[in-house]
Every structure is written in structure tokens, then in C-alpha cells.
A = this chain, B = another copy of it.
Amino acid sequence: MVDVSFSRSPTPQDDDPATADWEAWFDGQNHPAGRDLRQAIEMLFFAYRDFTSDPDQVLATVGYGRAHHRVLHFVGRNPDITVQDLLKILNITKQSLARVLGAMVRDGYVAQTPGARDRRLRHLSLTESGQALEAACSDPQQERVARAFHRAGPEAVEGYRRVLSELLDRESRDTILAQIRK
């Protein structure tokens, strides 16, 4: 029932250097791919779970959740971002955002300033306390990642980057990578 044909018939744009070794490894499996892919999938699941638990704890102290954290993160990362652009990054609806963003503005973590050129736009940025909250959230997370990078070594970090960027949706990969590297 499991279709593993993709492994045997790479599409043209799959061609890449450093493929031969992997093909050999791949073909050496008796359950071709299935087992190792499953492990890779589970690893991502568990790593992401633990990884998101850090900010959750901090945010709980101010009555916020993950949604608030994402706003905090991406507004901090993209000062003066507009609501539209934030929605595109978060990939949620305006109404969903309104709930969390409204609270954060009321609570004084996020500031809104109308655009100079186009006064319909609201440019979002973190206030002082917003920046402090963001730092409190991302500190343990960054520490976790720094520690993992340290222990895994630089080649492993490079591999992590490569694999994760290849996991992105093809249509949006370039946009996402540009956003990340900004």
C-alpha cells in the first residue's frame, strides 16, 4: 500500500551532486526508506515539541499562548511590518490574528503606527516591554538551539540547515528562505 516509487524514479530536477552515496545507502535498506524516513519524521515531531515548550512556559506567566509568541517573534524580527505582511507570514486569517494582536496592543507589548505614505497601513513594532517579553521567550529557546549546535558540531549544523530548507514547500521555499535570511 505504501508507494515508494518516488525513490526509484527521481524527477529531473532531483539531480544533484552527492547523490550516489545516498542512493547506495537508500537501496541497501530492506524496507526501502520506510524505516529511516519514519525515524526522521518522529525526530522532527519530538524535537519540535520540546523546542516549543520553552517559550510556552514563559508566556503562561503573562497569560499568553503560542499564537502570541509567534506574533512577538515575527514583529520583533520585522520591525514596522504591516498587518497584511504579518498575516502572510503567519498564514492565518485576519480574525485569528486580531484576537492575539488586539490583546498585545492593549497590554502595551506591540505598538501600531499609521503609515506615512499610505495612512491605511498599520506598522507594527515591539515596545520596550514587548522586546523584553520577546527576549524572555526566545532566550531559553536560543539557549537550547545554541547548545544543540555546539554539541552537534558545525558540519551537522550545515546539514540541519540543508535538510530543513529542502523540507519546505517548493512553491514558497524561496520566499520563506528570503524571509529567514533577511
A interface residues (Cβ-Cβ under 8 A, vs B): 1-4, 6-7, 10, 14, 16-19, 21-22, 25-26, 33-34, 37-51, 53, 70, 73, 77, 91, 131-132, 135, 138-139, 141-169, 172, 176, 179-181
Contact = CB atoms under 8 A, between A and B. Distances in A.
A5 B55 CA distance: 18
A161 B43 contact: yes
Given A18-B153, A135-B2, A150-B22, A164 B43 contact: yes
Number of copies: 2
A159 B162 CA distance: 9
Contacts of A153: 16-19, 21-22, 162
B154 A157 contact: no
B159 A38 contact: no
Contacts of A21: 153-154
A172 to B, nearest CB: 8
Contacts of A22: 149-150, 153-154, 157
A147 B2 contact: no
A165 B147 CA distance: 11
Given A41-B145, A152-B163, A153-B162, 10 more contacts: A19-B150, A25-B154, A34-B142, A37-B149, A38-B138, A44-B48, A45-B70, A50-B169, A159-B163, A160-B164
Contacts of A179: 42
Contacts of A144: 167
B37 A142 contact: yes
Residue from A1, A53, A152, A167 with most neighbouring chain B CB atoms (10 Å): A167
Contact of A139 (B2, B91, B141): B2
A17 B155 CA distance: 12
Contacts of A165: 43, 47
